[in-house]
Amino acid sequence: AQSVTQLDSQVPVFEEAPVELRCNYSSSVSVYLFWYVQYPNQGLQLLLKYLSGSTLVESINGFEAEFNKSQTSFHLRKPSVHISDTAEYFCAVSDSSNDYKLSFGAGTTVTVRA
Amino acid sequence: ETGVTQSPTHLIKTRGQQVTLRCSSQSGHNTVSWYQQALGQGPQFIFQYYREEENGRGNFPPRFSGLQFPNYSSELNVNALELDDSALYLCASSFKVDEQFFGPGTRLTVL
What's residue A53's pLDDT?
86
> How far apart are the CA of B96 and the nearest CA of chain A, in angstroms?
10
What's residue B27's pLDDT?
87
Q: Report the C-alpha gap between A6 and B62 in whole angstroms.
A: 30
Q: Is A100 a residue whose pLDDT tops 90?
A: no
Q: What is the pLDDT of residues A59-86, one digit of tens each?
A: 988 999 999 999 999 999 999 999 999 9
Indicate the pLDDT class of residue B11, thresholds 50, 70 and 90. Answer: very high
- Chain A CB contacts of B101 under 8 Å are 46
For B63, residues 6+ apart whose C-beta sits below 8 A from its C-beta are: B78, B79, B80
Q: Is B1 a residue whose pLDDT tops 70?
A: no
Q: What is the pLDDT of residues A19-72, one digit of tens each?
A: 999 999 998 778 899 999 999 888 899 999 999 888 899 998 899 999 999 999
Q: Report the C-alpha gap between A59 and A52 in whole angstroms.
A: 16
Return the beta strands (E) in A9-95 as ranges: 10-14, 19-21, 23-26, 31-38, 44-50, 56-58, 64-68, 73-78, 87-95
DSSP annotation of B83 reads G
A24 at B interface, C-beta within 8 A = no
Q: What is the mean pLDDT of residues A14-19?
A: 97
Q: What is the pLDDT of residues B42-84, one digit of tens each?
A: 999 999 999 999 999 999 999 999 999 998 999 999 999 999 9
CA-CA-CA-CA dihedral for A109, A42, B50, A96, to nearest 10: -10
What's residue A107's pLDDT?
97
Of A66, A54, A94, the C-alpha closest to B94 is A94
> How far apart are the CA of A114 and the nearest CA of chain B, in angstroms?
25
DSSP annotation of A69 reads T
Q: What is the pLDDT of residues B81-103, one digit of tens each?
A: 999 999 999 999 998 777 899 99
Q: Report the C-alpha gap between A11 and A95 in whole angstroms.
A: 28
What's residue B98's pLDDT?
77
What's residue A83's pLDDT?
96
For A91, residues 6+ apart whose C-beta sits below 8 A from its C-beta are: A4, A6, A21, A23, A25, A33, A34, A35, A74, A76, A104, A105
Q: Inter-chain contact B42–A107, Cβ cutoff 8 Å?
A: yes
> How far apart are the CA of B90 and the nearest CA of chain A, in angstroms?
7
What's residue B4's pLDDT?
94
- Chain B CB contacts of A99 under 8 Å are 55-56, 97
